[in-house]
Structure 1
Amino acid sequence: MARFKGRFVRQQEKDRRVQLSELVSDRNVADHTKNTEATDTYQSIWLPGERRIFEPYQVSKDLKAGCTDCGSTLHITDIVTKTNCGLGFIMYILCECGSMNAIKSGKVHHDAAKFKTRPIFDINSKAAIAMYDTGLGEHKTNRFLADLNIPGISASSLAKREKEVSRSIKKVTDESLDRSLEEEKNASFSSTNEETENIPIKIKYDMGWQKRGSGRKYDSMSGVGVAIGNETGKVLEREIRSKNCRTCSYWEGKGTEAAHHDCPRNWYGTSKGHGT
């Protein structure tokens, strides 16, 4: 008989339990070492408490697609490094065969206006649309992301995405105005019942400045005017007048003519004349 952890057992049973305990202990040490190495790797890539925006379906699809060389399924735990691209990011995952695979955090697209360009993450373009929709600027957007522990996006990246989505927004706006004008013409024709090629329509006009006037001082740098259909109540046309262009102002301060650019300045009169 022998004692094992305060109990009397047979010597053979004691030897078996001691051997089993040693195997479990060795396995725990190996697992702890492996987890420690993995934790050190993660800490060098991800910050504690850091949050990220990614598309689970797209990432899962790319991981299941496998390695580009051997076709083996990839695992996100095998990440070696990452590249930030605004709110999106690219993970570089090492396969068992030694091949490095780039896995994107979401869908991407390319600038149709350029022949060759880097992939643009959809989430960055969506962020620019959200800024237009909510009226937030670059500073408040990044403050909002910082409060969520999500890495922000640079002002230059947001400016590029704003220019990108502004073209689509303008196109959709023009199409909407054309439809509204046709609806107003049809409504005016129904109300007059006159068969004529030129249908007169009645409109209402309103305008506003982006900066409130004090009653004695009107110095807003931009203003907008809209024409509203009398029958449908929809906006038929709009016009924006701006006295400011940061690019032109910058080069004018240096005494140099600015290069060709998309200049928003289209008004050189007084601020009161914005709405005329």
Structure 2
Amino acid sequence: MPQVSKFRLSRKENHRKKSKTIEATRALEGTIEPQGTVEPQGTIEPQGTIEPQGTIEPQGTIEPQGTIEPQGTIEPQRTVETEASIEFEGTIEPNGSIELGGIVESDGTIQSDGRIDLELTVEPQKTIQNYPSPEYLKSISVKNASGRRILSFKSLINGITDISTHSSICPIAEVSLDLERRNGLSTEFVFKCVCGWVAVISSDSDCNTLTINDSFAWGCECSPVGLTAATSLLTTMDLPVPDYRTFKKAEEECKAKMEDAFVQEMNEALAREKELAIEENSFVVVEGVQYAAITVCVDGGWSKRSYGHSYSANCGIGVIIGIKTKKIIFADTRCRTCVVCDKGREENGDHDCPKNWFGPPTAMESDILKKKGFQKVASTD
């Protein structure tokens, strides 16, 4: 067997060792990760400390064992001693809340040294601007509104102005129709605010003029129509209709006022006629008495055309007219019938009886002019 040199064996062994080393190195290529416990890359901490979002305040009013009620206006820098041990500093906000500066325990108690030291900052009152604002101006609520009403234009304008002014300065400004007073055609709307303020809009605003009920009665007299015809007119127009008693009362008052005004006008016209006669130095002497000579014109009439055939008129009228002023200085009527008296009752109730003549109709005119008219004109000197 041939002998192999040691040099050649050593080269082969070295070559084998290098081959094993290369194979081991190739097997170790890559990232070696432990198969055991994986440690985190950093320290795991909670996302944040859970803290209360604000100061923990008691949900209710925390009062000491004794009731603390100020007897008057709360003044700043006032110290109140109580049995409880509370010490806090607070600021009175406009809404009246007090923030506590003490320590609130979990059971709801407050630790303090036994005193209540109130350090209050009183803010000045806010001034409300007198400017209309949509938050103040609210719509006027009207309930059960139906039909039509007659209102005075002056009263309507004043009422709207007053309500608008009040709505701009009142912090509540909730005005509603509180009441409607109605008497015949006369209407009063009473608007009331929640704060107690009241405004009235009515049909009559001027005391120097006739009321609407009196004007209605006067209109019926001048038309002339009665209550039945006037009721049909008002009902068609959807206006309130006065009842019979209200209408008759207004009619009687209208009649009395009309008679008083007519007498006053006649007296003024007669006085003016005398003044004109005196200015012209026109006098007449009757039985030794001097009178102002007034030239007049007289006329008369009856309620129906009966002169020359029947002479059965129930009413007659006579007037005296001044020539210079062209005005009536005297007028009167005669009537021989009455609706109430002619019903045949034995006893009639109290009423305004127009019956003042018991003679023939032909004598009515002469009685008015001679016995009443001229006598009155002469007696005024």
C-alpha spacing 1:92/1:233, structure 2 compared with 1 (3 Å): closer
- Is 1:258 matched up with 2:356? no
Q: Which has the higher contact order (CA 8 A, sep 6+)?
A: 1
- Is 1:55 matched up with 2:178? no
- Paired residue for 2:292? 199
Does the CA-based 8 Å contact 1:204-1:228 persist in structure 2? yes
Classify the secondary structure of the residue corresponding to 1:184. helix
Summarize deviations over 1:84-138 as a string: whole Å, max 9, x none: 31111244556435x696845223799xxxxxxxxxx911112222233433332
- Paired residue for 1:172? 261
Summarize deviations over 1:48-87 as a string: whole Å, max 9, x none: xx32211143245457377xxx997674xx3366443111
Residue 205 of structure 1: how far off its partner (Å): 1.4
Distance of 1:95 and 1:221 partners within structure 2: 61
How many residues align structurally? Answer: 216
- Summarize the alignment of residues 1-276 of structure 1 with structure 2, pairs less than 5 Å apart: 41-42=143-144, 45-46=145-146, 50-62=147-159, 64=162, 75=175, 78-79=176-177, 82-91=180-189, 93=191, 95-96=193-194, 103=200, 105-107=202-204, 122-190=211-279, 193-194=282-283, 197-213=290-306, 216-250=309-343, 253-259=344-350, 261-276=351-366
Residue 174 of structure 1: how far off its partner (Å): 1.7
Distance of 1:100 and 1:265 partners within structure 2: 55
Distance of 1:153 and 1:211 partners within structure 2: 33
- Could you tell me which amino acid in structure 2 is paired with residue 263 of structure 1? C
Summarize deviations over 1:6-38 as a string: whole Å, max 9, x none: xxxxxxxxxxxxxxxxxxxxxxxxxxxxx9xx7
Q: Which has the larger radius of gyration?
A: 2
Distance of 1:274 and 1:73 partners within structure 2: 69
Structure 2 unaligned blocks of 5 or more: 1-138, 367-381
Summarize deviations over 1:116-170 as a string: whole Å, max 9, x none: xxxxx91111222223343333233333333433233233322211221322222
Q: TM-score, normalised on structure 2? A: 0.47
Classify the secondary structure of the residue corresponding to 1:236. strand
Does the CA-based 8 Å contact 1:187-1:232 persist in structure 2? no
C-alpha spacing 1:100/1:157, structure 2 compared with 1 (3 Å): farther
Q: TM-score, normalised on structure 1? A: 0.61
Classify the secondary structure of the residue corresponding to 2:291. coil
C-alpha spacing 1:71/1:101, structure 2 compared with 1 (3 Å): farther
Structure 1 unaligned blocks of 5 or more: 1-34, 111-120
Does the CA-based 8 Å contact 2:155-2:203 persist in structure 1? yes
Summarize deviations over 1:228-257 as a string: whole Å, max 9, x none: 12333321100122223344345xx33214
Over aligned residue pairs, what C-alpha RMSD do you find?
3.8
Distance of 1:52 and 1:180 partners within structure 2: 40
- Could you tell me which amino acid in structure 1 is paired with residue 152 of structure 2? E
Classify the secondary structure of the residue corresponding to 2:253. helix
Identity fraction in percent = 22
Distance of 1:232 and 1:94 partners within structure 2: 55
